[in-house]
Structure 1
């Protein structure tokens, strides 16, 4: 195939016509190494395959992502190669994080770009909700506590994911960790090299989960926070963003009456999914701080609404094990007592 010839971005065409698609399910090896087993998913910018490395001991499984780019000149092809090389190296660095798939290889062949990544066995959060129903506040808070540090990590590497949603979050079957997959950064860089004007204005993301500035092709770090907030609403309700009613005046989705969560957590999620960018959390650090403050406030409220007389746990006996929550409660009690004593002396 002439690498500068016309190439469609239709994934159905790719699966039927390209070398990788034709090898799917056969014993023939791609690049003398990868046995392509089956299709994992299709999208507007390519197709993803499950494969195994037939050269390594144990035939370890991996994921091959074929990215489709239309170029018609040597200059645009070289520009696409340079951008792909740059973005692939960034993904390679990000893969050192335990919640991001490891990049195993990247290359271009016959005018197509390929990424080979670690295969994470498990199910997506979308599959979990469909199978077991919406999650409660505690579970969603735990999810946020796991994912916000991942956003913190990728943003410090100057990467915006661009497509956070339940389908791109996997619960690893082996250890239960939540893994973030399918970064949109490489897709966006390659689309920018296309000579076709339609491709140049292609939107990277998912309707409903992406905020307005992303539709204007100006994503920022806070765009990922918005998408993560929308993912939380999906986990709490089982509804995709497009299923919620919208306020005709502000454009905000009407979700508060759909959930049964504390007022403090409503405030945190509300700020994550604000339509105006200036009213949203600007960084993952801000969201982490707000969530930590919300958790502490919830604990404090629990302590002040219970009759704690004769229930105080003391730490005087070193032989008695004090759970972390109880230690925190004791610390709060002592702090409140010192504050009250200080005020009485003033």
Structure 2
């Protein structure tokens, strides 16, 4: 027994008994003569994920083995499944050069099942983090967005829609605190689409995503880049409230989440989140770039507002100091930051307007 092999649930016990990798779990038997299976990490609708170590490499590095189990009923469908799996795996391989996306190390098929070998990133998911420490602050969620939006920008630039962004698929690396996006839906979507069609199932069985986090167009099997923006916005609401989207009430007229009364955040940030989770695509942010720009503008406006704030001084200034301070706004040789110059101009405009009215 190794240190990773922990107490398992009844469902995991069933996996151990029914799958090849499950039967190897906790033993010294090797998968493909190199991978020692340590424990089950999770099970979804399309496969099972195991933690393993590569016994052939120096240091026996840990890795994740994802086993996808399509049920294909004829040779032609199987051939198409193999081609699609290889195509999508290559896409994941290209994406894996990003520090916030686990690297794809290998992919292959064995006895009618597909396997992905990916880099293992130790850490906690945001779902578990929120369960353990409670809701996040506005500042923390803004930082999260600033960390993750460039990843979405990178994915969409490569024409990849994640399709399943949620707290369970966002991992905070325990080594450096970076947010890592895991469990891409692209491979699963291609395989399930082909497999369901092979047994003449209705098209609505092909949905990839998670209820509450996926927007309507995704349920209609027409995901777009803005679908990831919606899921990211709902994830932010979860971080602020520690509530699943299914726990909220929904607006009767629009179908949108009624979340505003559950949070204590600035008006401007609430506007950004509100636009991220709009049901209508025309009202929602279209890209990660648009959200990043809105966050940048909010930061600028906050700084500008602080420059415009007038408070009574807590200490006395002599006449000379006051004169020097006033002259600094007029003297072209004295440098002022752009925000301060704008604020000064607005104050002067307000002063002129007030004197005109009087």
> Shorter chain as normaliser: what TM range?
0.7 to 0.9
Q: Any unmatched runs of 5+ in structure 2?
A: 1-10, 316-335, 353-358
SS in 2 for 1:270: helix
CA distance in 1, matches of 2:39, 2:122: 15
TM-score by length of 2: 0.84
Q: Aligned match of 2:339 in 332, 335, 344?
A: 332
| Coordinate RMSD, CA, aligned | 2.2
SS in 1 for 2:194: coil
CA distance in 1, matches of 2:202, 2:110: 21
TM-score by length of 1: 0.87
CA distance in 2, matches of 1:71, 1:293: 51
Q: Which portions of structure 1, spanning 4 or more consecutive aligned residues, are displaced by more than 4 angstroms?
A: 10-15, 308-311, 338-344
Q: Aligned match of 1:225 in 225, 229, 237?
A: 229
Shift of 1:334: 2.3
1:17 maps onto 2:18 in alignment: yes
Residue 327 of structure 2: aligned partner: none
Q: How does 1:238-253 map to 2 (within 5 A)?
A: 238-253=242-257
The one-character-per-residue Cα deviations of 1:274-318 (angstroms, maximum 9, x if unpaired) are 01111100111111111111111122222222439699xxxxxxx
Shift of 1:198: 3.6
1:45 maps onto 2:52 in alignment: no
CA distance in 1, matches of 2:137, 2:122: 25
SS in 2 for 1:16: helix
Shift of 1:160: 0.4
Residue 72 of structure 1: aligned partner: 73
Q: Aligned match of 1:264 in 253, 264, 268?
A: 268
SS in 1 for 2:76: helix
Residue 141 of structure 1: aligned partner: 142
Residue 171 of structure 1: aligned partner: 172
Q: Any unmatched runs of 5+ in structure 1?
A: 1-9, 312-328
Residue 319 of structure 1: aligned partner: none
Q: Aligned match of 1:196 in 191, 199, 204?
A: 199
SS in 1 for 2:253: coil
Q: How does 1:73-152 map to 2 (within 5 A)?
A: 73-152=74-153
How many residues align? The count is 318
Shift of 1:16: 2.6
SS in 2 for 1:239: coil
